[in-house]
């Protein structure tokens, strides 16, 4: 609603102000206007409730009348103001603009949640609100406000998902959480899907004591129960047993091990003097044009380096079935498939948000913080992933029958 103000009245008010402090300060014009408007609105609500104006003769012998005021301090983006809440004699007046028990005006809770989502600590939020609005906010209030979104969190975690996701990235990061009076490392499991339109969508967040294939099996089972009937390609790290867990729930899904993880693991114990050359030779493998060329490059790598680092070629050979999936696709869409960069980028952003947290007091606190942080991040996911059109055309050819089966259901 757009309200037109009388310029003459505004000029009259501003004429009493000598500087910015008189307008925006603790007892400035803006704050006094808000207080006056809310106070008049409360009095108008009482008039509507009783059915007659203050001191009006028709109010006599109606059985109810005004009965003074009670004082209440409310907080908002303007700071704190003290209001006088009207009372009636039969005590059945229920104000709507400032409801009973309400101590914060709309928008204030959203400000707290916004600051929390950016990874600010409770102390930081207190200081920020004090600096901006001159409001003292207790840690209990901050916790209460942020806890209010837990119903939304649970609904999001249990929402129905799409029937088909062409690509799903599965990864985990470690955070410190207090558990039974001890601070321990726990694994935050994330499943990031790319839907048929090429849009990224976080499918869920799960917390457990450690990353393991058994727990991933339960995650995948939950995705199936929430409506995901098919995944064309699952991109994962090199966790032992991961492919078996996926095959149990989604037997037709192709599994692509993250090449970045493979390279990191391969170079972990290579001395600095050899690292650059070994990395260049590994690139000959995953940078090949065809699977046959890649296999030849792997053989040449083994001939050159097995005397020094036999575990590298052995690791690639043992996992070749799941390493080489991306080689079946054209160059322009390989990067969509062969790396978990999409979810690792998400993890990196989440870590920046969490850097001020030494540890979380509970699983729920960690879940709440992660949900809010990722909700903020996902607002930037407005475009399809790069080269999605080419990728989807290829998927339509390769998985067309499966796709039409699920879409037509």
DSSP string computed for 378-396: HTT--SPPTTHHHHHHHHH
pLDDT single digits (tens) 170-197: 888 888 888 888 889 998 888 999 999 9
Mind giving me the DSSP string for 306-334? TTT-HHHHHHHHHTHHHHSGGGGS-HHHH
CB count in 10 Å sphere of residue 249: 19
Identify the pLDDT of residue 204: 93
Residues with pLDDT less than 70, the chain: 1-17, 19-20, 22-31, 33-38, 41, 76-79, 97, 102-121, 129-137, 141, 144-146, 148, 238, 338-344, 406-409
CA angle 67, 69, 75 (to 5 degrees): 155
| Consecutive H or E run containing 279 | helix 272-286
pLDDT per residue over 10-36, tens digit each?
555 566 667 667 665 666 666 676 666
**Residue 291 CB burial class (10 angstroms; 0-12, 13-18, ≥19):** middle
| Predicted local distance difference test score (pLDDT) of residue 3 | 46
Contact in structure between 265 and 238 (CB atoms under 8 Å): yes
Q: Which residues lie across from 86 on neighbouring strands?
A: 69
What is the CA 213 to chain-centroid distance, rounded? 24
Distance between CA 108 and CA 76 in Å, rounded?
5
Q: Strands (DSSP E) along 180-279, which ranges? A: 182-194, 200-208, 230-236, 254-257
Q: d(Cα 82, Cα 102) in Å, to the nearest integer?
A: 13
The SS3 call for residue 184 is strand
Structure tokens at 3: 């309200």
pTM for this prediction: 0.68
Position 33 scores a pLDDT of 63
């Amino acid at each position: 609603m757009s309200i037109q103000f009388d310029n003459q009245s505004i000029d009259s008010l501003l004429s009493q102000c000598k500087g910015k402090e008189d307008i925006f300060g603790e007892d400035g014009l803006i704050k006094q206007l808000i207080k006056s408007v809310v106070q008049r609105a409360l009095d108008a609500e009482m008039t509507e409730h009783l059915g007659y104006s203050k001191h009006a003769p028709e109010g006599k012998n109606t059985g109810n009348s005004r009965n003074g005021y009670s004082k209440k301090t409310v907080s908002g983006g303007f700071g704190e103001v003290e209001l006088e809440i009207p009372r009636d004699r039969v005590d059945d007046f229920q104000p709507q603009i400032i409801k009973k028990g309400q101590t914060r005006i709309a928008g204030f809770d959203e400000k707290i949640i916004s600051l929390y989502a950016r990874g600010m600590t409770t102390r930081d939020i207190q200081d920020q609100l004090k600096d901006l609005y001159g409001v003292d906010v207790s840690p209990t209030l901050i916790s209460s406000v942020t806890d209010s979104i837990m119903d939304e969190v649970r609904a999001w975690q249990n929402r129905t998902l799409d029937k088909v996701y062409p690509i799903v990235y599965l990864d985990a990061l470690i955070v410190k959480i207090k558990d039974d009076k001890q601070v321990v490392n726990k694994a935050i499991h994330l499943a990031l899907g790319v839907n048929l339109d090429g849009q990224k969508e976080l499918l869920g967040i799960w917390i457990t004591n450690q990353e393991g294939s058994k727990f991933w099996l339960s995650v995948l089972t939950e995705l199936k129960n929430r409506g995901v009937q098919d995944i064309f390609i699952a991109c994962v790290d090199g966790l032992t047993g991961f492919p078996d867990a996926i095959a149990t729930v989604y037997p037709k899904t192709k599994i692509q091990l993250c090449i970045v993880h493979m390279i990191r693991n391969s170079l972990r114990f290579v001395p600095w003097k050899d690292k650059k050359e070994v990395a260049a030779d590994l690139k000959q493998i995953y940078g090949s044009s065809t699977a046959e060329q890649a296999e030849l490059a792997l053989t040449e790598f083994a001939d050159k380096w097995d005397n020094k680092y036999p575990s590298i070629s052995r690791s690639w050979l043992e996992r070749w079935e799941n390493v080489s999936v991306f080689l079946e696709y054209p160059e322009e869409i390989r990067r969509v498939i062969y790396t978990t960069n999409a979810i690792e980028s998400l993890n990196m952003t989440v870590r920046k948000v969490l850097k001020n947290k030494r540890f979380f007091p509970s699983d729920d606190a960690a879940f709440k913080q992660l949900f809010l942080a990722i909700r903020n991040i996902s607002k930037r996911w407005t475009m399809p992933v790069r080269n999605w059109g080419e990728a989807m055309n290829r998927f339509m050819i390769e998985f067309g029958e499966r796709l039409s089966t699920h879409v037509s259901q």
